Chains A and B, each alone.
Chain A
């Protein structure tokens, strides 16, 4: 059996959640302040994911902020950056417009988080 302390990042409280793992399965989760902590601790131990926020080039010169619509596996973040590296977006773009589909094969969409004229 292994024990892990997971610092929850769902909200700024930063609960330190105690997780016990036995043969790759979670046997106990303790010391969380809300339900979101349970889900976070589970995912952090079994399949850690993060929302990727970055920028892509605009054809007009500056950059456009974007994000994955859902968290993607942590180990794929750098790969996703590489995949987005040479992308150039032509305005106009509105908040929520899809910029890329199925990023690094995760099935997750990447959307614009700002408007560009």
Chain B
């Protein structure tokens, strides 16, 4: 489990840095892979393009997905993941500023595993990341690996 990564798809560099910081403070040792746009995120997951050398079976523990992303938005990425037999069981959690009801509904309609709205208060955000890490790394039973 420790060698597995957490994938963060986030286009805002400042936000990504702060999320990284929160992870570090939460003592989660797993590597946080940060990708800044939707297209590259799909290349990473499906092992195409720059990531063609990657093993597709080597899934992240969980994907933290922003909704508003350049090139391919979060909902589309989620749909592609759920329709790809190699990726469909991959846990995906939305991490976004929005708490728009329609965004939350659309996320669950497309099979998301969780929805975190980033609070403005950094302390609360760090608490959320800690709780998130504890759940996905320690509590949750991961999906079986496709062979």
Q: Does B associate with A?
A: no
Residues of chain A having any CB pair with chain B under 8 Å = none
